[in-house]
Amino acid sequence: MILLFPVVLIAAGYLMWHERRRPRLSGLVGFAVWAAAGALFFFSLLTGFSIGLLILPAAAGAVIFAASWASGTREATGFFAGVGAICLLVAYINRDPGGLDSRPWSIVGLGLIAAAVVTFALWRHPGRELPGV
């Protein structure tokens, strides 16, 4: 089971770097596709042998779809936003004062989402100049 997660990511990386065609889903749509794939993948990883096994085929399919259809590196930063969203979900579930401390999950989730959004927003395409530069 644990070997399947790296295999899926390696396959996605292979598809991203060896696809020579222009990505069909770019911009915010591609970012959202990668975010959904990241959320499914991380949720499957967190739930492991309980329901993670049932979610893994959908998560693997989502990652492979994202790598094939939204293969831009800029859009792939959305994967980390999806992981951050699941971290925020875990923090929300553990918000009960008698439960686990949810602050680390919140900090990691917000940090991942912020980093992914800022990276996506600031990433410039090759040959694209800023106005006045």
Chain segment 81-122, per-residue pLDDT in tens: 999 999 999 998 888 776 567 788 999 999 999 999 999 999
> Are 115 and 80 a contacting pair, CB within 8 Å?
yes
Summarised one tens digit per residue, pLDDT across range 17-37 is 776 565 577 789 999 999 999
Q: Minimum mean pLDDT among 7-16, 22-31, 51-60, 94-103: which range? A: 94-103
| Per-residue model confidence (pLDDT) at position 48 | 85
By the 10 Å C-beta count (0-12 exposed, 13-18 middle, 19+ buried), 89 is classed as middle
Residue 133: band (very low, low, confident or very high) from pLDDT cuts 50, 70, 90 = very low
User: According to the model, what pLDDT value does residue 100 have?
Assistant: 64
For residues 116 and 81, the answer to whether their CB atoms sit within 8 Å is yes
Query: What is d(CA 90, CA 70) in angstroms, rounded to the nearest whole number?
Result: 27
Q: For residue 62, which of 47, 40, 43 has the smallest C-alpha distance? A: 40
